[in-house]
Amino acid sequence: MRVAEVYINQINRNIDYSFDYYIPDFLEPMEIGLRVVIPFGVKNSKIDGLVIGIKESSEHKRLKNIEGVIEDYPKLNDWQIKMCYWLQKSYHCLFMEAVNCFVPSNLHIKKKKENGRNTYYMANALQELKYYKLSGKYCNREDYLAQIKSNATKQREILSCLEEIPVSFKELKEKTTCTTANLNVLIKKGLITESKEINIRNPYKDREYQYPANTLNRHQQEAFDLFNSYEKPSTFLLHGVTGSGKTEVYLRYIEETIKRGKSCIYLVPEISLTSQIIGRIMGRFKENIGIIHSHLSDGEKIDQWNAIKNKTVRIVLGARSAVFAPMDDLGLIILDEEHENTFKSNNRPRYNTHEVAKKLQDIHGCHIVLGSATPSVSSYYEALYGHVNLLELPERVKSIPMPEIHIIDMKEELYAGNKTVISRKLHNGILQNLKRGEQTILFLNKRGYSTFVFCRNCGYAVNCPNCEISMTYHHNIKQMACHYCGHKEHVPTICPKCNSDKIKYTGSGTQKLEMQLRKYYPQARILRMDTDSMQRKGAYEETIDLFQKGKADILLGTQMVTKGFDFKNVTLVGVILADSTLNIPDYKASERTFQLITQVAGRAGRGDKLGEVIVQTYEPDHYAITLSQAYDYKGFYDQEISYRKMMKYPPFSDIIYIGFTNEDEVEVSRDCLKYYDKLYKLVQEEEGEELLREMYRPTASPIKKINKKYRWYFIIKTNYILQYNSILNKLSKEKEIIELQSTLIIDINPNNIL
């Protein structure tokens, strides 16, 4: 018998390698990439695994046999398996975690007997709907009923209600409360027939969308022509100001790619997925679209997968995980709003979608299009000096001018006696907009009510008991909540430390802002959009719909309101406190602030009326603020890139984050130091001084504890990512490291290191 190398479907560091199994003859021809059921462990429990190799013999003795192949399970192709190895090596995940990117992960494997043998299938694959009708054996219902005993009431009931047109089981059940057993008896008697139809579960299929093509303007046409002139697989950066018509250009690229017989992946940051883009892309391409995101049910996911595999779907729209869609003939990957940090995964595999796309480009020879009004500094650097082609849309469609941005120094507001969070200019703007019936968007980067509760007498601050971080007061539940672990508790009326009753609330979140707005502008219709108010399913779409239809005057919210919206009647945008993103201890803080201001400003003046933007801040002279005021992306880029170069931050290096968490404060530091020392020695032996200098000493994390777990970390700022990755991979296989009690996190270029 031949031998298969099988990875066990378990997320477990101790078995992150393949096991050998015999392939019984009845399962030949076995293929690499198939999903199989195998006996595993001392108890020989049946679990599933993935065949990643086939060979004539094994060096191991007493192999067990594979039990069966799981029917209908999407087989992994060679390129997908190659990608799994690459993900494992590059992002330090387990092989099976990489595999789970490429296949729906909840299998619900079921067993059935066939010719005396166990066979396996997935219970949630292919949802079959059953339909029933009268068999046509008799001409009228009386003759049918005559075949049934008078006391078989259920059967008589079914026959009375069936026609010669098929009725679904669901419908029949509602009318008669019948069971499958009742129906089977009738089928056996030849009185009724059953038919099956496969139901493709797609939550969007019943919606009607329209988005006719626009005639391209000059800049759009140039961008389109340049794209078309490239035969070889290339990467493009489409830098277009907000409202310049980037979406129209993407849709043309897609159209062109489909014409050439290839398929497309269109990636967007998660949050805008449910908003206008679905309407536009479905309006243009109808049922040719598959939609993949984390809120799909397992069944829906499998159906989308099958539709892609059998080519009913040629375009996949989705958040970052859709980059793993099983398209064998990929021609184009689009990353819309490419600068967004949601393109980096914060869970294993901690991949960067940009890098995955590049890997897919190597495999399929597809084009990549990155698009943004505020490209990430790294992408723009690539476009200037690397292998990325820059395409520019410098003007808004129909040449509507960019809205004017005013900077308000909030210190001066205070001197002038204005103690509210709304400056006089913003106040007047809101009043004017209310009078004119135009809409306003207000952006504040903090949710909750008060972000800091403390004792004025002794300075005691109310921190979360599980995390070393202050709690936020939420007015709707009249409690404080921790934004890291979700812990809630009542606000103390007396300070637990000094018994004073001088408990003070400071810092405003979106909830407080909403209440203030309701007080100042009682006539205004106000909507709030943040993770607290968007919990309910459908809340997000409802809010957008209300605002779109002009049923609200003010939309206020967190980052959710900054992205992608195209509302024609919004003429005023206010940034309540620009500093909140500026003061985060992260090398990307300035970039993030520049992007947020520019993006949210881009929501104003998209119709025929001119827009206006008011940015409130305590740091009016910061370059991220002054340069966003001037819409000077290149000026900002120049400043930022020289800072990055000086500090050796990306794109001039890669940052490797190595963190440990543990409920035991002593153990976590010990494990972190131990790992550091082992790594240090390995690097010294294998690479030498230059790489050693790139390692920074371990220390407690800026947030020392999250969810009861203490945290330590160190970073490596490196120009030798490949060398480091291979050393880290080697280290992870060492027994001593596997046996460390603390949880190890390796994150390449993480979104933050807090």
Residues found near ligand ADP in the complex (CB under 6 A): 214-217, 220, 240, 242-248, 397, 566
CB nearer to Zn ion: pick between 74 and 659 = 659
- Closest distance to Zn ion from the beta carbon of 499 (Å): 7
Number of residues that bind Zn ion (CB under 5 A): 15
CB nearer to ligand ADP: pick between 224 and 473 = 224
**Residue 338, SS3?**
coil
CB nearer to Zn ion: pick between 393 and 482 = 482
Single-letter residue type at 231: E
Mask for 438-477, x = binds Zn ion (CB under 5 A): -----------------x-xx-x---x-xx----------
Answer whether 350's CB lies under 8 Å from 297's CB: no
Verify binding: residue 715, Zn ion, rule CB under 5 A.
no
460 binds, among ligand ADP, Zn ion, none (CB under 5 to 8 A by kind): Zn ion
* Alpha carbon distance 292, 317 (integer Å): 6
DSSP state for residue 63 in the 8-state scheme: P
Kindly give the residue spans of alpha helices, DSSP state H, lying in 339-463: 353-364, 377-385, 410-415, 424-436
244 binds, among Zn ion, ligand ADP, none (CB under 5 to 8 A by kind): ligand ADP
* Alpha carbon distance 558, 580 (integer Å): 11
* Alpha carbons within 13 A on the beta-carbon side of 592: 18
* Alpha carbon distance 749, 341 (integer Å): 11
Verify binding: residue 420, Zn ion, rule CB under 5 A.
no
Instruction: Answer positive or negative: Cα dihedral of 615, 617, 620, 626.
Output: negative
Mask for 498-527, x = binds Zn ion (CB under 5 A): x-x---------------------------
506 binds, among ligand ADP, Zn ion, none (CB under 5 to 8 A by kind): none
Verify binding: residue 491, Zn ion, rule CB under 5 A.
no
Q: Which stretch binds Zn ion (CB under 5 A): 29-37, 208-216, 478-486, 507-515?
A: 478-486
* Alpha carbon distance 393, 396 (integer Å): 8
- Closest distance to ligand ADP from the beta carbon of 401 (Å): 14
- Closest distance to Zn ion from the beta carbon of 229 (Å): 54
435: buried, middle or exposed (CB in 10 Å: 19+, 13-18, 0-12)?
A: exposed
* Alpha carbon distance 125, 536 (integer Å): 28
- Closest distance to Zn ion from the beta carbon of 464 (Å): 3
Answer whether 350's CB lies under 8 Å from 344's CB: yes
- Closest distance to ligand ADP from the beta carbon of 554 (Å): 22
704 binds, among ligand ADP, Zn ion, none (CB under 5 to 8 A by kind): none
CB burial readout 288-315, b (16+ within 10 A) else e: bbbbbbeebebbbbbbbbbbbbeeebbb
- Closest distance to ligand ADP from the beta carbon of 135 (Å): 54
Give me 445's structure tokens: 């980067």
Give me 501's structure tokens: 């009753």
User: How do beta strands 709-718 and 654-662 pair?
Assistant: antiparallel
- Closest distance to ligand ADP from the beta carbon of 214 (Å): 3
DSSP state for residue 589 in the 8-state scheme: H
- Closest distance to ligand ADP from the beta carbon of 280 (Å): 8
243 binds, among Zn ion, ligand ADP, none (CB under 5 to 8 A by kind): ligand ADP
406 binds, among ligand ADP, Zn ion, none (CB under 5 to 8 A by kind): none
Q: Which stretch binds Zn ion (CB under 5 A): 108-116, 492-500, 513-521, 619-627?
A: 492-500
Verify binding: residue 482, Zn ion, rule CB under 5 A.
yes
CB nearer to ligand ADP: pick between 449 and 567 = 567
Question: What Rg do the C-alpha atoms of the chain give, in angstroms?
Answer: 30
CB nearer to ligand ADP: pick between 371 and 659 = 371
Q: How far apart are the first and last CA of the chain?
A: 54
Query: Please, which of residues 191-230 interact with Zn ion by CB under 5 A?
Result: none
Q: Which of 497, 551, 568, 730 binds Zn ion (CB under 5 A)?
A: 497
485 binds, among ligand ADP, Zn ion, none (CB under 5 to 8 A by kind): Zn ion
Strand order in the sheet with 315-318: 289-292, 315-318, 263-267, 330-336, 367-372, 235-240, 388-393
Instruction: Point out which residues pair with 120 in neighbouring strands.
Output: 70, 111
Give me 468's structure tokens: 């070393």
Q: Which stretch binds Zn ion (CB under 5 A): 66-74, 164-172, 283-291, 487-495?
A: 487-495
CB nearer to Zn ion: pick between 389 and 531 = 531
Verify binding: residue 495, Zn ion, rule CB under 5 A.
yes
CB nearer to ligand ADP: pick between 223 and 296 = 223
- Closest distance to Zn ion from the beta carbon of 485 (Å): 3
CB nearer to ligand ADP: pick between 359 and 396 = 396
188 — phi, psi (to 5°)?
-60, -40
Verify binding: residue 480, Zn ion, rule CB under 5 A.
no
Instruction: Answer positive or negative: Cα dihedral of 297, 298, 303, 304.
Output: positive
DSSP state for residue 215 in the 8-state scheme: P
481 — phi, psi (to 5°)?
-130, 150
Instruction: Point out which residues pair with 237 in neighbouring strands.
Output: 370, 390
- Closest distance to Zn ion from the beta carbon of 484 (Å): 5
Q: Within its chain, how far is the Cα of 398 from the centroid?
A: 33
CA angle 373, 374, 380 (to 5 degrees): 115
729 binds, among ligand ADP, Zn ion, none (CB under 5 to 8 A by kind): none
CB nearer to ligand ADP: pick between 407 and 604 = 604
- Closest distance to ligand ADP from the beta carbon of 606 (Å): 7
* Alpha carbon distance 46, 385 (integer Å): 54
609 binds, among Zn ion, ligand ADP, none (CB under 5 to 8 A by kind): none
487 binds, among Zn ion, ligand ADP, none (CB under 5 to 8 A by kind): Zn ion
Task: List contacts with Zn ion (CB under 5 A).
Answer: 455, 457-458, 460, 464, 466-467, 482, 484-485, 487, 495, 497-498, 500
